[in-house]
Every structure is written in C-alpha cells, then in structure tokens.
Structure 1
C-alpha cells in the first residue's frame, strides 16, 4: 500500500494540457448567466444575493481548471460549503452550480499525483460537510458521491487512454528511427567498403600506373564526402544506436521498380521514374523506396474497387518527389491517420522533407512526398 501511495504521489501531471480557448470564456459566460437567472426566478431561495454573488465569483475557476486544477478545486469546494451553510436546512443550493463538476474531472484528467490526492481529500471533505449542513438524506448523499466518482473515473480513463496513445506514437517513431538508422548505417558502410577497395587498387597500381592511383584517390575523396554527409545526417536525425545484428542490404531508388506488377489479390501497380538518379544519396533513395512500398501496400490492401495504382518518382537537381495514387472508391468521412502514415511522415521529416496523404480530387487516395535531393542539411 505504501508503494502504491508513493507511486500515485510521484505521478506527473498530464503533458501539454489544452490551452484556454474562446469556448472556455463562452462556457463561463453561459453559466454566469444561468446562475443569475436562477437567482432571479427561483422561488424560496434563502440568502439570495449572497448565494448568487458567491456562485458568480466561483464560476470563473473553470478558466484555470486545466492549468491549476488543484487550486481551482479547493476554491470551489470552500464556496460549496459556504453555499450549503447559506442555504441551510433542506433547502438546496443553486442547481446551476452543477457545472463545477468539471473541476474534479479536470483534476483527475490533468493534475499531478499529489494534486489529485490533495484535491480528492478536499473535495470529499467539502462534500461531507455540505451534506451534513444541509441535512441531506442517505439517498441524496449516495447520489452525490456516485456522480463524483463517475466523473473521476471518466477523467482517469481518458487520462490513461491519452497516455497509451502517446506511448504508441512514441513507439512508432522509435521503430522508424531505428529502421532509418539501419539504412543509414548500411549506406555508410557501403561507402567505406568502396573506399577500401579503391585504396587497395591504388596501392597496387601506384608504381606502374600513377594516373590510376590518382583516379583512385579522387574516388576515395568522393566516397568519403558522401559518407561524411550521411554520418552527419545520422547524428542530427537520430537518438540512440541502431539495433545490432545482421541486416539485408538497404533498398534504393532502383528497387522502386520492383513494386510494379500484379500480385493477383489487388490492383496492378504501375511505376515510372523520371530524372537523373546518379549521385542520389543512398539514404534518400532508401526513404523513397520505403515510402512507396508502404503506400503501395496500403493501396493494395485498402483501396476499394481500384483498377490501378500509380507510382511516380520525379527527380531534379533540388528534390525527389514521390506520388502514389489509386482510383478506388471515395472514402466516406474524414479518414484518421494510421500508424503507417505517421511513420512515413516521421521518416520524411527526418530527412528534411514532408509526406502527406489524403483523398484524390476525383476519387481514390494519394500519398505525396518531397525529399531534398541532398538529404537533411548537415
């Protein structure tokens, strides 16, 4: 039990709670109006003016319910006790103050562990005092506590659902970084291997053919420059080391053509590559292949009634552009991005580019990506 309480106490608050928006101000304005209206039209309300004044003063705590939930819950709890005292006997307080149930929800949803524990004690104590002062029946007490616990349970469920969603997204990003790290590692290793071979050839031919040795040195310089650029990109883009182990050679821009054809269980795939692929960095070529591969896989699996999938790669001096489209049935409603699309966006961003997916203007779905030809800036 002690360990459980300690872990709850050390629980951090929810990261990046939503900022205050104009709708929060609208919410406060609406409920201030309801409080005033109830104070005017409700019959038999004791201490009408003080109750309405306290209620109007406490409703603005909703504006800080996400950023300072513990303090706002404390203020509202104190006011609820005062209101119960003013109401007295069996007279109920202002029903329009039921909006303050949003404060316990916000406390559990966004507060830290110590804020939740302190705020819970305050809320329960205030609820008990209010029920005692108002001489409420057991049914009223049970109903009030049920509402409080239901609101807290909802906030807790949404809190941990958001946390699991964040963990899943972080895992997708981590896996994509590891895969990109592997691809970069393999491409740099290829450059180093080429330098070793050129150096060995230069040593052998240095005496008999000095010009060949000079050519070998120039090629070594070129390979070293490419390797250095990709290693710098790796340092800028990745955190942590690539997973150890043997890996298959990384695919490149030339492997995009292997995606063409018809697997027999989906629409045929047509591939066209235009532009000069010479001197294209291996990391960029691998990224284009991976993006095209994922896009084609999604189209073959999910495009309804599609008759074709087109893959177009356009390469110029500044950028490499990829467009993958199908002519399937239009999607109904707004499609939510899956983890595959998030991983594709992450890969493109790590190389200084962008990747977007959405419905075609006419029908079907398309994925477009733009990567700098030179890769991420060093």
Structure 2
C-alpha cells in the first residue's frame, strides 16, 4: 500500500528499484523466449533487441515519455524479425503504466492512442496477421492505461487527505502556541500588577521609616517607625497571599480547572486604603451598580496600576481622585493626581502598556498623559456588554 500511495517520482531509491525491476522482467522475458516454439525463438539480433527493450525502464521515473518511445523503437524491429511477440510485452506494459501514472489524463490518452496507431501501422507493413492480433489484444493496453490513471487519482486523493491532516495539525499547533502566548501575557500582567504595586508600597513605607531615623536620631519617633514597619509587614503578608492565590490559579489551569474568582470592583477600597497608607491623599467615587467579572477585573487592575504610578511618581502625599461611573453602556473610570507624572527620560516600564492591554482585552480603550492644569490622568472606557463577557 505504501508503494501504491507514494508518487513514484518521489519514492526513495527509485533508480535502484527500477534496475531491479528491469532485471527481473528481463529474466522473465528470457525464460518466455527459451520455453517456446524453437522455430520462433529469437536469433542473435532478436536476443539483443529483446534485452535492449528492458534497459530504458531504468529511467522510467525521470523520463516516462522518453522511456516509452525508446521501448517502442526497440520492440518494433524485434517484431519485424518475426520473433516471439510475447517476451517484450512486460516492458511495453510497464512503460505504458508509468506514463499513465505520472502524466495528466489527457496526455496519457493521447500518448496511448498515438502509440497504438503507430504500432498497428508499423505491424501492417510488417505482418498483417500480427497487426490484427495487436488490435485484438489492444484491450489490455487500454486497461493498463486506465489502471495507471486510476492509481494516479487515488494517489492524489491520499495526498489530499495527508495535506489536510497536516494543515489541521499545523492549525492546532498554531492555536496551541497562540494560547500559550496569551497565557504568558496574562501571567506577566498579573505578576506585574501584583509585584509593582506591592514593591512600590514597601519602598514608600521604607523611605518613611528611613526619613524618621535620619531626621533626628536623638529624638526617635518610635511610634511612627513601629507603624511604618507594621505597614511593611502587612503589605508583605498581603503580597504573599495574592502571590499564593495566583500560583494556585496557575496550577489549577494546568489541570484543566477554572481560573477561580477574579479581583473586581469590590476590591477597590483595599487599593485605596493601601495607597493612603503609602502617603497618598485618595478620594474615590464609585457609581457603578454591577459589572461583568472580566470588566471588573480589568478596572481593578487599571486602578491598581494608576495608584501605584501616582504613589511612585507624583511626589510626597499626592492628591489622587479615583472615579468610576456608568454611562452609555460602558464603565468609565479616571484616576487623576496633582503630581508631575513619570520622570522625563526615565527608563520606560510596562505599566501603561499593561493598562492598555487590560482595556483592549475587554474591548475598551485607555488614555493616559499629563493634564493641562497639571498632574497626570488615566482614563478608560470599558464596555458593559454581555458580548464582551462571553469572549472572556
């Protein structure tokens, strides 16, 4: 079945196999010539022509039409000498089959018809009886050609199945790579949102403690230092809990389980309180009745990153306004501060990129930049539609 399914022109060791085939058929032809009527046994020239008609079969895969022509040119003088007509028959049929299985059907039919006409015409000039016998057995020639065409179509059918299977496999692999890339991007966003926020708060609280220690070593404000250290410890515990939750979600995803509850709008008060502990003066206004989990999670992460940037870049004790409200079927949020924003020429981070990706993930948009009256503003529009929720 493998030999039938495979295109003979692309089969491995084709020339070697054709040498073996030509040799085996030549041996059969010699046996047919020997065990026949001694009166019709080939003479010296007949033996040479008989063996010579099998030589072109060695190149039948690379040059099928030339092989058929070469076999015909050798077989016709063989028959003209009145030798036994049966020994060269295998070479003729193999050459015809090769043409049929490698060429287009129209070319095969034309080639077969031309070969039959030339053979009959040549035989009529040599031996009328053999010409009539050739016409009588022409059904075998037609059957050989149709068999070759049928094998050709079957190989094309098998090749189509294999190609579709390979295309489907490539599609599955591309889909798997796409999902892996999306999951890696999601993990990167989650870890950035978690670690950047936590590390920023710890840095601010540590700076407060260091400032108190360096301001007046003789009169230490032990209560302020203890409060700053307690806040650092609490922030570390919170970060450890969130990191554990994230890792549990990832392990559950590896086993085909759900991702677990997403952070939503109900977690905004905790973000505001953490920013206040870091020294920011935060005011919030939340006028949203309900939001899909995906939209709520995106809003939570955007507000978290915006507050982190405000604490980090807006200076000491910045005034921050967090506002969320619903209008025209969308959740609209804005986080503004009175600081200077990121330092010009500083190393760019992934905060703004991550916020825009969060907004785009639910079909929304996000703008961020300095305000004309001073400070920095992050604003986003997140659609509150069931269609967007279904895509998550």
Output the TM-score relative to the length of structure 2. Answer: 0.44
If you compute each CA radius of gyration, which structure gives the higher value, 1 or 2? Answer: 2
Which protein has the bigger helix share?
2
Output the TM-score relative to the length of structure 1. Answer: 0.46
